[in-house]
Amino acid sequence: MSKPLKETIRSLGRSLKIFLNTSHFPTLVLTVVVTLAVVLFANITPASLPERRALPSLPGLAEKALKDDSLAALAGADFPAGYTEINGTLQPGDTLGNALRRRQVSEQIRSQIINALDGHLDFRNLRPSDRYAVILDEAGELAAYRYESGPLDIYQVIRTPDNEFQTEKLAVPLEQRVVELAGRVESSLFAAFQPHGEEAKLIYTFADIFAARIDFNTETRNGDKFGLIFEKYYKDGEFVGYGRILSAKYQRRDGEVLEAFFYESEKTPGSYFDRQGHELGASFIRSPVPMGRVTSGFSPNRLHPVLNVVRPHLAVDLAAPVGTPVIAAADGRVVLAGWNGGYGNQVILEHANGYRTQYGHFSRIRPGLKVGDRVRQKEVIGYVGATGLATGPHVCYRVQHNGRFVDPLGLKFRPRSVLAGAELAGFQGQAEAVSKMAQGGGVGRVVQVKNITVTPDRKIFLL
């Protein structure tokens, strides 16, 4: 190698060594790395990057009853391959978070679901047997969620194309059938309804309509007749629940006829009225246990069944199965809610015009009821039991007026309201239309059918 060339190489080496020992070397390295990165990703666009897919349209969710464990299949959903479905049911005492955690849903997805439902679903009213389905995409991220609380309350959360979560309460199509039912009483009203196969809640509601006019515990007679026209709702051919009783009729053996028609308008809150427009609800109802059985009446002298001594029985004993709901006889304020010696678990209510009512021997008082609370007429205040001095499950029902005990079954009160003018005319026209539906059929006869859709803006009444 020639001497000039050797000198040139040694000079370059010395220069490189000096450069490596200066601050310029890291700058050079960083420049090279950035340049390579720009070249490498120059042809990658947002459209070429992988994107989370939004859940496809799920037609038919509101139209299909959720009958088994696959909410998605019943919804008619066509999920892409690789999507995962997690189904669950709330257990007693569950919160939504606990139920999801039990199915090993991650904390992140639990938070997404709860946040999406917040403001739509009332988390305080979740019930055991409520059902849900979580849909995860191929990456294990939340794609959709559905929650069903009963046949009419279905909530759906969907991930949108921009990866936000959209929540809605779904519309539910139903079939409304208006049914006529009639029968004859031979032993009790309850027994008269049983051959028709209707649920107990319909019987109790019928009895409650006339609660201020007749005591079905003591005043039914063999040969009395009843009739009613009422709504029944169906979803996909399956019974969902009872709507309103539109009209009710009870004809006593002696010929007296009691009639009631439901009426509601912008000026008149929904209630039942007779043909003259008198509201059937009175300031007091006849019995706080409408279908109970009187086992002991109001008497100045009665042999006490436990103490075996004769003393006044200033009450009416109403026997019913343990746990039967007991309702307030009138609007009032709670002045006692707790244990009271021989009366066991007792509730005492104070009412207007000097009245007080007492309800004893409850198996339990309604949770949360306390002294000072206001209650409305027919609001549940406790449940039939046999606490205190009692030989069996019943309610000891006592009424005081200005400090003096009076016979609860002998009280008479005025109607709560009377329709007049245009309201009376509107009511009578509606009552006449409902009356024309009746033909006196015994077995439940469908007199009208129509399709309706329940939406958040259009709700229906269910017993």
The fold for domain 174-282+416-454 equals: Nuclear Transport Factor 2; Chain: A, (3.10.450)
Range 50-79 average pLDDT: 42
* CATH of 71-170 among 3.10.450.350, 3.40.50.1010, 1.10.150.20, 3.40.50.300: 3.10.450.350
Range 126-142 average pLDDT: 92
Domain boundaries, the chain: 71-170, 174-282+416-454, 293-410
Identify the CA nearest to 400 among candidates 315, 338, 318, 334.
Answer: 315
User: Could you tell me the pTM of the whole model?
Assistant: 0.63
38 Cβ contact list (under 8 Å, min separation 6): none
Tens digits of per-residue pLDDT, 204-231?
899 989 887 887 877 888 999 999 999 9
Radius of gyration of the chain (CA): 36
Distance CA 360, CA 394 (A): 8
User: Does this chain's domain 71-170 share its CATH topology with 293-410?
Assistant: no
Q: Which CATH superfamily is domain 293-410 in?
A: Glucose Permease (Domain IIA) (2.70.70.10)
Q: What is the pLDDT of residue 151?
A: 87
- pLDDT band for 459, please (50, 70, 90 cuts): confident
- pLDDT band for 280, please (50, 70, 90 cuts): confident
Distance CA 170, CA 103 (A): 25
- pLDDT band for 54, please (50, 70, 90 cuts): very low
Q: What is the pLDDT of residue 203?
A: 92
Distance CA 327, CA 368 (A): 15
State yes or no: pLDDT of 241 exceeds 90.
yes
